[in-house]
Amino acid sequence: MAEQIALAIMGLLAGVGVFLLAVRLLSRNIEAMSGGGLKNLFSRTSKSKLLGAGLGAFAAAVIQSSGAVTVMVIGFINAGLMDLVQGSTIAFGANIGTTITGQIVALGTFGSGGITSTIVFMSLTGVGAFVMLFAKKDLLQKIGAIVAGFGLLFVGLELMSSSMSDFAQMDGLRSFISSVTNPILLVLIGTLVTAILQSSSVVTSILITMVFSGLISLDQGIYIVMGSNIGAGVVAILASIGGSADAKRVAVIHLFFNAFGAVVFLILGGIMGAIKDGLTFGYLFEAMFPDAPPTQLAMFHTFYNVIKVAIFLPLTTPTCKLFSKLFCKSEKSSDGPHLAYVEEHFLKTPPIAVEMVKKEVVRMSELAMENFNRSIKIVTTLDFSSEETFKKVENELNYQNREITKFLIRIPRDQISDRDNVYLSTVYHNTSDLERIGDYAENIVEYADSLKKEGKTFSQEAVDEANYMCRLINELYAKVRLLYIDGKNVLQEAYAIEDKIDDYTQQASDNHVKRMNEGVCSPDVGSLYLEMTSNVERIGDHLTNVAKSTRKY
C-alpha cells in the first residue's frame, strides 16, 4: 500500500512538472512571437470596457497565462499607458482566456479504443522537438517549441491521469477525499494550492483528471476551481509590489473580483440546495454535458468566469473609484536615485520589460536635458540656486546608466522579438550617450563656478550665443524624441539641426576669439567659453548618436 501511494505521488509530481514545463514553453515562445503585437494592442486599447475584457481574454488564451497578462497590465499602468479602469477590464477578461487550458485538457480525454486524442496530441511533442532540432530559422524554432509544448501538455496530462487512477483505487484515500464536501473548505483548499503552485491552469488540469478518474466528484471540483481563481490573484499582488498606486489597486481589484465571484456562487449554490435537494452546479452541468466529466468541469470553469465578468464589468468604474478612496495614493519615494519603470517582476514578461526599458531611457533623456538647460542658465546668469537639484539629477543619471545596463543583461533574449533584440543592443550605447550629456552639463556648471570665483562673467554677446546654442540643442532633442518614441521619420531633420549646431558653435568660437583680440573678453573667460561651446557641440553629437540608433530597429 505504501509503495502504491509513493508511486502514485511520484507519478503526480512528474505529471505536474511536465505540465508546468509545457505551459512555460508555450507561453514563452508564443509571447516572443506575439508579445510585440499584444504590447501594441494593450497600449492602444480604447476606453470600451467590453473591448478591454475581450482583449484580456484573447491575450490570456494566446499566451496561456492570465498571470502574464495581469503583469503586462500592471506594467502599462506603471508606464502611464493605461488607466485603472482599462487595466481592470483587461485583467477581468484574462480570467476567461485562461480557461482555454481546461478545455484543451478535457479535449484530451476523448477517444476510444487504442487511440485517444491524448495519444495523438502527445505525438506532437516529437514533431515539435524535431522542428526545434533541425530548423535553422529562429521563427521555425519557436513554432517547433510551441508544437512541442502543446504535446507536452498532454504528456503531463497522461501522467497525472495515470496517478489519479492509482489514487482512485485506494479505498481509504477515496473515502477521506469524498468526506470533504463543505463548499467553503473546498474553496479555501483551491485558493491555498493555487497560491503555492502559482498557476490556476495546473490546478484546474489536475482537478479535471481527478474528476475523470472518479477520485473527486464534479461538485468538489467545481468549488476547488472557484478557489483556484482566487489563488491566481496572488500573482497579480506580487507583480504590483513596488509599482505605482494604480498598479497596486488593479492587483487588489483583480483579487477582489475573483473572491467576489466565489462568494456569489457560494450563495447561489446554497439557494439552489435550499430550493431542491440535490440541485447543485454539478447536477446542472452533468445534465448539459452527459457522460463527459472532464468537459463538465471545463465548461463550468468557462461559464463561471464569463458570468463573473458579465456581473462585474458594468461595476468596474464605481469599483475603481471605491478602491481609489480606500487605498490612499502611495507612490514610490523620489528621495535618492531610483528607476521609475524598470522593476524585477517585469522579467516574467520580457516584451513588457523591453517597453519599460524604453520608458526608462526616455526618462533618462529628459533628466539629462533638464540638467543641460540648468547648466546653461547657471553659466549665463551665475545663479546657483538650482545647483543642489542639478547634483541630485547628475547622481540619478549615473545610477540609471548603471542599473539599466544591469537589467538589460537579465532580459531573456530568446523570449522577445528580433526587433526588440536589436533595440536592446542599442540601449547600452543610448544610456552611455545620455550619461555623457549629463557629464558635459556638469563641466558647464564647473565653468560657471570658475567664473564666480574669479568675479567675472561672459559678455552679453557670449550670453546670447550660449542661449541660442541651448535652443538648437533643444530643437535637436525634440526631433530625437519623435524618432525614439513615435518612430517618426525625422532623422534627416535631426541631421540638419546637428549641422546647424556644428556651424554655430564654430561661429561662436570664432566670434569669441575676435572679442578676445579686441579686448572685450579676457583670455581666462575666453578659454572657459571656448570649452563650453565645445561641450555643447559634443552634446549635439551624443543626441545624434541616439537618433542614429533608431535606424537599426
Residue 284 has pLDDT above 90, yes or no: yes
134 burial type by CB count under 10 A (0-12 exposed, 13-18 middle, 19+ buried): exposed
Residue 524 has pLDDT above 60, yes or no: yes
Distance of alpha carbon 398 from alpha carbon 390, whole angstroms: 13
- Band the pLDDT of 203: cuts 50, 70, 90: confident
- Band the pLDDT of 159: cuts 50, 70, 90: confident
Q: Which three cell numbers stand for residue 73?
A: 497590465
Per-residue model confidence as pLDDT tens digits over 11-42:
878 887 887 788 778 767 776 665 556 556 66
- Band the pLDDT of 331: cuts 50, 70, 90: very low
User: Which of 527 and 498 is assigned the larger pLDDT?
Assistant: 498
| Cβ-based neighbours of 450, under 8 Å, separated by 6 or more | 528
Q: What average pLDDT does the segment 67-88 reach?
A: 74
3-state secondary structure 97-136: HCCHHHHHHHHCCCEECCEEHHHHHHCHHHHHHHHHHHCC
For position 305, what pLDDT does the model report?
93
Q: What average pLDDT does the segment 138-149 reach?
A: 86
Residue 333 has pLDDT above 50, yes or no: no
For residue 482, give the DSSP letter.
I
> What is the SS3 assignment for 123?
coil
Q: Which of 27-31, 240-244, 443-447 has the lowest average pLDDT?
A: 240-244
116, 251, 348 from 24: Cα distances, Å = 25, 22, 11
For position 235, what pLDDT does the model report?
64
Calculate the average pLDDT of the chain. Answer: 85
Residue 375 has pLDDT above 50, yes or no: yes
Distance of alpha carbon 282 from alpha carbon 61, whole angstroms: 25
Of 322, 321, 341, the C-alpha closest to 332 is 341
Place of cell 508544437: 147
For position 113, what pLDDT does the model report?
47
208: left (phi over 0), alpha (psi -120 to 50) or beta: alpha
- The pair phi, psi for residue 112, each rounded to 5°, is -145, 165
Distance of alpha carbon 448 from alpha carbon 376, whole angstroms: 9
User: Which of 458 and 9 is assigned the larger pLDDT?
Assistant: 458
- Can you give the pTM of this predicted structure? 0.67
Residue 263 has pLDDT above 70, yes or no: yes
Cα–Cα–Cα angle for 411, 413, 414, rounded to 5 degrees:
130
Distance of alpha carbon 145 from alpha carbon 31, whole angstroms: 12
Per-residue model confidence as pLDDT tens digits over 341-361:
887 777 877 887 888 899 899
Q: What is the dihedral of CA 54, 59, 65, 67, to 10 degrees?
A: -70
Residue 246 has pLDDT above 90, yes or no: no
- Band the pLDDT of 158: cuts 50, 70, 90: confident
Q: Could you tell me the residue ranges of all domains in the chain?
A: 2-326, 344-552
- Band the pLDDT of 332: cuts 50, 70, 90: very low
Q: What average pLDDT does the segment 503-520 reach?
A: 85
Per-residue model confidence as pLDDT tens digits over 248-258:
788 888 889 99
Residue 329 has pLDDT above 60, yes or no: no
Q: Which of 54-68, 188-202, 265-279, 457-471 has the lowest average pLDDT?
A: 54-68
3-state secondary structure 493-521: HHHHHHHHHHHHHHHHHHHHHHHHHCCCC
Percent of the chain with pLDDT over 70: 86
For position 43, what pLDDT does the model report?
57
User: Which of 37 and 401 is assigned the larger pLDDT?
Assistant: 401
Per-residue model confidence as pLDDT tens digits over 82-121:
788 888 898 899 889 888 888 887 876 665 544 456 677 7
| CATH number assigned to the domain covering 344-552 | 1.20.58.220
Q: What average pLDDT does the segment 196-215 reach?
A: 82
| Cβ-based neighbours of 251, under 8 Å, separated by 6 or more | 70, 74, 233, 236, 237, 239, 240
Distance of alpha carbon 424 from alpha carbon 141, whole angstroms: 21
For position 167, what pLDDT does the model report?
65
Q: What average pLDDT does the segment 47-70 reach?
A: 79
Type of residue numbered 463: V
For position 27, what pLDDT does the model report?
67
Highest mean pLDDT among 86-95, 315-324, 496-505: 496-505
45: left (phi over 0), alpha (psi -120 to 50) or beta: beta
For position 34, what pLDDT does the model report?
58
Distance of alpha carbon 514 from alpha carbon 506, whole angstroms: 12
